[in-house]
Amino acid sequence: MTKIKTLFLVEVAVFTALALLLDLIPLQIKLWPQGGSIDFAMIPIFIVAFRWGLKGGLLSGFLWGMLQIAVGTAYVMVPLQGFIDYAIAFTVIGLAGVVAKAVQKNVRENKIKSYLFLITLGVFIGSFARFIAHYIAGIVFFGSAVEGQPAWLYSLLYNGSYMLPSFILSALAVFFLFHKQPKTLLQSK
């Protein structure tokens, strides 16, 4: 295995474990008993996505979702909802990696406004994709669980209540990290 492949695997493993730890420690605002909290846990996945692109981001997100199932923190009512909420929703956070090369280029060139926009765009892409997956899973779950309220509306409000603040928190934190420590967050050429 080459040095780069080893570094890739180690970073994916470390940042995935960090995401899980941030999800487990009580530095979050738990809004709902069935899952959904405002926390820092997506930040390591975004860092991997911006360092390694789609491949790293998608892999790290997928592993994080699977680890939640493995450690028993996943809230699964029906198999389809569990698959969407954990296998898909956490994987698509890594879609932030579509802007990885542009983020790295602008950070190296110290174009602060450009990389602020690109980081925000990448975090938005990953967060919105995760929201859509949770929204769909919520329709599957809440379609059979909520009497008298449209499942689409309940899922929209339920998932939006924690995903919007999580997006804002993640965008600010990732920008701050890249801005304050760009060399440690970028791959060396």
For 23-56, the pLDDT digits (tens) are 888 666 665 556 677 889 999 999 999 999 999 9
Candidates 61, 107, 106; CA nearest to 85 is 61
178 touches 115 (CB < 8 A) = yes
Burial class (CB in 10 A: 0-12, 13-18, 19+), 24: middle
* pLDDT computed for residue 97 by the predictor: 97
15: which residues sit within 8 A by CB, 6+ positions away?
44, 45, 47, 48, 60
The residue behind tokens 């570094």 is 7
* pLDDT computed for residue 27 by the predictor: 62
* pLDDT computed for residue 76 by the predictor: 86
**Which residue positions in the chain have pLDDT lower than 70?**
1, 26-35, 143-146, 188-189
Domains of the chain: 3-185 (1.10.1760.20)
Which letter, b or e, does each residue of 111-150 get, where b requires 16 or more Cβ atoms within 10 Å of its Cβ?
eeeebbbbbbbbbbbbbbbbbbbbbbbbbbbbeeeeeeee
* pLDDT computed for residue 145 by the predictor: 58
* pLDDT computed for residue 35 by the predictor: 64
Candidates 186, 8, 4, 49; CA nearest to 108 is 186
52: which residues sit within 8 A by CB, 6+ positions away?
8, 11, 12, 97, 100, 187
